[in-house]
């Protein structure tokens, strides 16, 4: 299986419908695509599989018309039915997820230390996600800080994406710690203009890459 290009993960937007009243998942997702996001993850724990599937189909179609990758959080049945990528946690079974997806779609896995990173890589993950700082959008996630991020990055050949408390102002700290990209929820989903917020993040990531070549 070919390695995922780390540059494909630069700005990774995760949707939420709970941040701004009346702003739905696809409102955020489509704005992120227009703003130049590299990845858009549909994360909707409040929806059933039947409710999530049509949204995933619409997002997948929109991503086909752009350069963005389409990812569904946790819901393997939806990802398989739609034919898009998936992101899973430690409790979801990485080997089973890889088997269900097949070799083509992208599989991301949340990890918090070197051992989990190595296990996910061996099980067929394409990239890893690490919670860097505390985030109110996922209070159960344990942040590992920049040092924890560096530790995971140094333990695997897979690209690593930082998430948790990341904004355009601190994104370069995460990139400097070795992350291939930055994942955000509220920095885009709660912004007055999600498209503009995405574009700002894209400019920050591209600028950092240009300066550090």
43 a catalytic residue: yes
Distinct helix (H) and strand (E) counts, the chain = 9, 8
Identify the active-site residue in 17, 43, 98, 199: 43
Q: Which of 127, 130, 153 is nearest to 143 (CA)?
A: 130
> Is there a contact between 198 and 188 (Cβ–Cβ < 8 Å)?
yes
> Is there a contact between 105 and 69 (Cβ–Cβ < 8 Å)?
no
110 a catalytic residue: yes
- Cα-based angle 162, 164, 88 (whole degrees, multiple of 5): 70
Q: Which of 137, 145, 178 is nearest to 14 (CA)?
A: 137
Q: How far apart are CA 128 and CA 48, in angstroms?
A: 26
Identify the active-site residue in 17, 60, 110, 155: 110
If 0-12 CB within 10 Å is exposed, 13-18 middle and 19+ buried, where does residue 198 land?
Answer: buried
Tokens describing residue 147? 């040092």
Q: State the catalytic residues.
A: 43, 110, 138
């Amino acid at each position: 299986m070919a390695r995922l290009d780390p540059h494909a993960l630069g700005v990774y937007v995760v949707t939420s419908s709970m941040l701004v009243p009346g702003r739905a998942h696809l409102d955020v997702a489509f704005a992120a695509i227009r703003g130049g996001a590299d990845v858009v993850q549909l994360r909707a724990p409040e929806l059933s599989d039947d409710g999530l599937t049509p949204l995933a189909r619409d997002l997948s179609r929109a991503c086909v018309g752009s350069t963005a990758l389409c990812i569904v959080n946790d819901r393997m049945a939806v990802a398989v039915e739609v034919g898009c990528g998936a992101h899973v946690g430690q409790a979801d079974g990485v080997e089973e997820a890889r088997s269900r997806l097949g070799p083509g779609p992208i599989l991301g896995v949340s990890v918090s230390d070197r051992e989990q990173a190595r296990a996910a890589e061996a099980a067929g993950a394409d990239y890893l996600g690490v919670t860097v700082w505390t985030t109110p959008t996922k209070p159960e996630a344990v942040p590992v800080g920049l040092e924890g991020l560096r530790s995971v990055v140094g333990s695997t050949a897979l690209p690593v994406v930082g998430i948790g408390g990341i904004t355009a102002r601190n994104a370069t700290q995460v990139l400097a710690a070795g992350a291939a990209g930055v994942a955000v929820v509220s920095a885009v989903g709660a912004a007055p203009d999600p498209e503009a917020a995405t574009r700002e993040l894209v400019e920050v990531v591209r600028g950092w890459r240009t300066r550090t070549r």
